[in-house]
Amino acid sequence: MTIHQHHTTLQDIQSPKRELYPPIEPFQSGMLDTGDGHQVYWELVGNPAGTPAVFLHGGPGAGCNPNHRRLFDPEKYCVLLFDQRGCGRSTPHASLENNTTWHLVSDIERLRSMLGAEQWLVFGGSWGSTLALAYAEEFPEHVSALVLRGIFTLRQHEIDWFYQAGASYLFPDLWEEYQAPIPEEEREDMVAAYHRRLTGDDEAARLQAAQAWATWEGRTISLLPTSAATAFGDPHFALAFARIENHYFTHGGFLDEGQLIGRVERLKDIPAVIVQGRYDVCTPATTAWDLYQAWSRVNPRVELHWVGDAGHAVTEPGIQEQLLAATDRFA
């Protein structure tokens, strides 16, 4: 019988919390022409001679914000951040055409090549963790380390938990508002019902659905209520966020069921840190645990850090502290 040693930690909820690195502006930015109808915004921050890293934002469809730059020591890292197809500063806005996981993986690889980095650290939270795993499993030779938060692998039960039944038991009042744009007779498949509205010709219905979809997520991702949730209802943001998320979830992330955890042996030589909020309602802890159990069987350099007083958001103080510790370590 093999005794399996777990590299897991539980953060003391009384521990001091670290601030992000100071605000920083890009030293270079541009647009990647994908050649199939998209212009992808990218930027570089930090030290041009530093350890290369790529930041993969969530959603899909959320885009990057200036605080994401601050998760890395600017003296030690050269970080590439980009807005994935159809969102943020990338164009065309909210476009679903030629917009799949594998298009994004290809974009990441083109950006690595543009940067001239043989290997880079790949950092992703929530949907960013999905994309990080998909990319790393395709190109393990180009990944020096992985830092993942709020693990999401798009298995059907993960989508159902948040959008059909599960999280609804914890936030019944907010769930009612999420259900509101959908007639009762269509509620047996909420993702499909939203898809019809988010891709339909009725502009008012499209926007109403987008705001309800986005606001549901914005109001449930942190352990305690936060004013940041209101940003999710911004019409410009919500349209890309809801349309792109729903498009990906309708198609199971363009992945086979269980694919990312099933192929984790490809990552057997890559050091990794997983950071997971214990009370994450959006991507519950069971997925991080499933990933860790499968991965740690083939890779002794994978660590799972539970944050005892956190939900899903990157802004949770305990999560932020663990992410900063991870990027510091791999610098």
CATH of domain 8-155+254-330: 3.40.50.1820
Q: How confident is the model at residue 97 (pLDDT cuts 50, 70, 90)?
A: very high
Report the alpha-carbon distance of residue 93 to residue 287 in Å, rounded: 31
Q: How confident is the model at residue 8 (pLDDT cuts 50, 70, 90)?
A: low
Q: Which pLDDT does position 16 carry in this prediction?
A: 59
SS3 273: strand
pLDDT at 228 exceeding the cut of 90: no
Residue 28, beta-bridge partner list? 44
Who contacts 243 (Cβ-Cβ below 8 Å, separation ≥6)?
61, 86, 94, 96, 198, 199, 210
SS3 145: strand
Higher local confidence (pLDDT), 3 or 125? 125
Decide if 52 contacts 115 (C-beta within 8 A): yes
Q: Which pLDDT does position 6 carry in this prediction?
A: 55
Q: What percent of the chain has pLDDT over 90?
A: 92
**What positions carry a catalytic annotation?**
126, 280, 312
Side-chain-facing half-sphere of 66: CA atoms under 13 Å: 5
pLDDT at 144 exceeding the cut of 90: yes
Task: List b or e across 18-55, with b for residues whose CB sees 16 or more CB atoms inside 10 angstroms.
Answer: eebbeeeebeeeeebebeeebebbbbbbbbeebbbbbb
Q: Which pLDDT does position 182 carry in this prediction?
A: 98
CA-based nearest residue to 305, from 282, 331, 285: 285
pLDDT (mean) for 226-232: 83
Q: What percent of the chain has pLDDT over 70?
A: 95
| Residue 60 in tokens | 């899909």
Q: Which pLDDT does position 2 carry in this prediction?
A: 41
pLDDT (mean) for 25-47: 98
Strands 302-307 and 8-11 turn out to be: parallel
Radius of gyration for the chain, computed over Cα atoms and rounded to the nearest angstrom: 19
pLDDT (mean) for 301-324: 96
pLDDT at 4 exceeding the cut of 60: no
Strands 120-125 and 302-307 turn out to be: unpaired
Q: Which pLDDT does position 231 carry in this prediction?
A: 87
pTM comes to 0.96
Residues 168-184: tens digit of each pLDDT: 999 999 999 999 999 99
Q: Which pLDDT does position 28 carry in this prediction?
A: 98
pLDDT at 136 exceeding the cut of 50: yes
pLDDT at 27 exceeding the cut of 70: yes
Decide if 243 contacts 61 (C-beta within 8 A): yes
Higher local confidence (pLDDT), 230 or 15? 230
What is the CB neighbour count within 10 angstroms for residue 132? 26
Decide if 191 contacts 157 (C-beta within 8 A): no
Q: Which pLDDT does position 10 carry in this prediction?
A: 61
Q: How confident is the model at residue 65 (pLDDT cuts 50, 70, 90)?
A: very high
**Helix, strand and coil percent figures for the chain, each rounded to 5:** 45, 15, 40
Report the alpha-carbon distance of residue 4 to residue 8 in Å, rounded: 12
Following DSSP, what letter does each residue of 53-64 receive, concatenated? EEEE-STTTT--
Residues 233-276: tens digit of each pLDDT: 899 999 999 999 999 999 999 999 999 999 999 999 999 999 99
Where does the chain have alpha helices with state H? 101-115, 127-138, 156-163, 172-179, 190-198, 203-218, 235-250, 259-262, 285-296, 317-330
Residues 147-176: tens digit of each pLDDT: 999 999 999 999 999 999 999 999 999 999
pLDDT (mean) for 24-44: 98
Report the alpha-carbon distance of residue 180 to residue 175 in Å, rounded: 9
Q: Which pLDDT does position 300 carry in this prediction?
A: 96
Q: Which pLDDT does position 227 carry in this prediction?
A: 80
Mean pLDDT, the chain, integer: 95
Strands 272-277 and 120-125 turn out to be: unpaired
Contacts 24+ apart (CB under 8 A), 89-92: 89/41, 89/63, 90/31, 90/38, 90/39, 90/40, 90/41, 90/63, 91/38, 91/39, 92/37, 92/38
Q: How confident is the model at residue 229 (pLDDT cuts 50, 70, 90)?
A: confident
The amino acid sitting at 20 is L
Residues of the chain with CATH 3.40.50.1820: 8-155+254-330
